[in-house]
């Protein structure tokens, strides 16, 4: 029996399991192990906290633990030659195998730093990304928007970018109780994501001035204290304390309940490499309202209602008119779930596994 080729997969973003990059690592890793481990063997590069997500299976990966960055730098050169292929799952990885002579697949989720960081820092990060692209055998992007952004700001030197859309999965908790922070009464609009300026959530708070028959629930880790303070100031200034809830970080059970019971999902984000929450909302048949920026139209498709600007009265008008139209469509929920079914981890895992085999056969 011939020896299986070994693939090193950078799973270090599982240090933050409930972020988009953490979820991408988790679900792709599980898909590879469950359905694509017959033709190759995997070594997962992980922090200790990430190992709990991969219980023993018939195809248990070798969990290569990393700790401090210095330790990894000293250790990785001795392991580079062991692998037939490397897959770096994120542009945020600290463990890019610069000294490896093996083929490297490099997945880029976004280049948001070019728009968010100060110019000097953004340029430093751009140069690092360029060096990584220079060494990569194949670049993949999670959306056409990201692929176009890469081609605009970096020199591909004749290399191609393969777009592989993320899969989306929402954990099912049919007996999840109502979260303690949810009051009975008015229907609510839901949104979720890290509370940072790029998510643009404050525009939803301002929109609520013109939707007196609704409440708003904003869930997510408060990553930017100044922005959270800004949102609270808007809430107080307009007397919205009883109709706007900043829930903070929530559990999977709470997120499931909120998707199931909200009237609609709103996502006015300014910068998204993919926009996973849109598909999560569609997967339970909910209406979605989003901005027209970056990748969101690509992911949301024709079923999403879009805001082309963020003036509060206009946003409320789009919401009211959109909900009136959606409520007249008795098949909307079915259409939404059909659209969400295009974005599965089974499909994403199959596409990555096929790419592995292609590169292994033609290194």
Cα→Cα distances 356→318, 359, 361, Å: 44, 5, 9
Structure confidence by residue, pLDDT tens digits, 200-211: 999 999 999 999
Q: Is the pLDDT of residue 117 over 60?
A: yes
Angle, CA of 262, 265 and 268, to the nearest 5°:
150
Cα→Cα distances 202→150, 212, 233, 300, 313, Å: 29, 17, 10, 21, 14
Q: Are 112 and 33 in contact (CB under 8 A)?
A: no
pLDDT at 189: 98
Q: What residues pair up with 10 in beta bridges, in sequence order?
A: 45, 88
Q: What residues pair up with 265 in beta bridges, in sequence order?
A: 190, 288
Q: Using H for helix, E for strand and C for coil, what is the string for 223-275?
A: CCHHHHHHHHHHHHHCCCCCCEEEEECCCHHHHHHHHHHCCEEEECCCCCCCC
Query: Residue 340 class from Cβ within 10 Å (0-12 exposed, 13-18 middle, 19+ buried)?
Result: buried
Distance CA 328, CA 214 (A): 19
pLDDT at 69: 40
Q: Are strands 264-267 and 188-192 parallel, antiparallel or unpaired?
A: parallel
pLDDT at 170: 86
Q: Is the pLDDT of residue 68 over 50?
A: no
Q: How many CA atoms lie within 13 A of 38 on its CB side?
A: 3
Distance CA 68, CA 26 (A): 21
Q: Which of 263, 287, 267 is nearest to 277 (CA)?
A: 267
Q: Is the pLDDT of residue 67 over 50?
A: no
Structure confidence by residue, pLDDT tens digits, 76-100: 544 556 789 999 999 988 888 887 7
Q: What residues pair up with 218 in beta bridges, in sequence order?
A: 191, 246
Sequence ranges of the domains in the chain: 6-167+344-361, 188-340
Q: Is the pLDDT of residue 34 over 90?
A: no
DSSP state of 14: G
pLDDT at 94: 82
Q: Which of 50-54, 218-222, 321-325 has the lowest average pLDDT?
A: 50-54
Distance CA 266, CA 217 (A): 10
pLDDT at 55: 61
Contacts of 123 (CB under 8 A, 6+ apart): none
Domain spanning 188-340: CATH superfamily: Glycogen Phosphorylase B; (3.40.50.2000)
Average pLDDT, the chain: 90
DSSP state of 219: E
Q: Which of 257, 261, 263, 268 is nearest to 231 (CA)?
A: 268
| Domain spanning 6-167+344-361, CATH architecture | 3-Layer(aba) Sandwich (3.40)
Q: Token pair of 347, please?
A: 């499909």
């Amino acid at each position: 029996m011939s020896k299986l080729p070994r693939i090193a997969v950078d799973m270090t973003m599982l240090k933050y399991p409930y972020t988009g990059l953490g979820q991408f690592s988790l679900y792709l890793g599980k898909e590879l192990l469950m359905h694509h481990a017959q033709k190759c063997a995997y070594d997962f590069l992980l922090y200790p906290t990430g190992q709990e997500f991969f219980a023993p299976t018939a195809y248990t990966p070798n969990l290569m633990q990393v700790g401090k960055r210095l330790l990894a730098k000293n250790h990785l050169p001795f392991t580079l030659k062991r692998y037939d292929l490397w897959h770096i799952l994120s542009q945020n990885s600290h463990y890019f195998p610069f000294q490896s002579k093996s083929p490297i697949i490099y997945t880029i989720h976004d280049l948001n730093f070019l728009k968010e960081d100060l110019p000097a820092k953004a340029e430093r990060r751009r140069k690092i990304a360029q060096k990584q692209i220079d060494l990569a055998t194949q670049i993949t992007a999670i959306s056409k928007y990201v692929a176009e952004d890469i081609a605009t700001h970096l020199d591909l030197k004749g290399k191609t970018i393969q777009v592989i859309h993320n899969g989306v999965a929402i954990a099912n908790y049919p007996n999840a109780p109502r979260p303690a922070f949810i009051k009975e009464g008015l229907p609510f609009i839901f949104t979720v994501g890290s509370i940072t300026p790029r998510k643009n959530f404050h525009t939803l708070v301002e929109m609520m001035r013109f939707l007196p028959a609704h409440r708003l629930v904003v869930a997510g880790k408060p990553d930017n204290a100044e922005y959270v303070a800004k949102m609270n100031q808007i809430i107080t200034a307009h007397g919205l304390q009883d109709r706007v809830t900043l829930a903070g970080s929530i559990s999977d059970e709470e997120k499931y309940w909120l998707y199931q019971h909200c009237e609609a999902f709103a996502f006015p984000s300014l910068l998204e490499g993919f926009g996973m929450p849109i598909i999560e909302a569609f997967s339970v048949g909910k209406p979605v309202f989003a901005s027209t920026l970056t990748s969101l139209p690509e992911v949301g498709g024709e079923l999403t209602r879009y805001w082309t600007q963020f003036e509060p009265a206009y946003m409320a008008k789009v919401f009211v008119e959109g909900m009136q139209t959606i409520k007249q469509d008795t098949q909307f929920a079915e259409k939404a779930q059909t659209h969400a079914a295009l974005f599965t981890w089974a499909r994403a895992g199959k596409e990555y596994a096929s790419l592995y085999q292609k590169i292994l056969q033609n290194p």
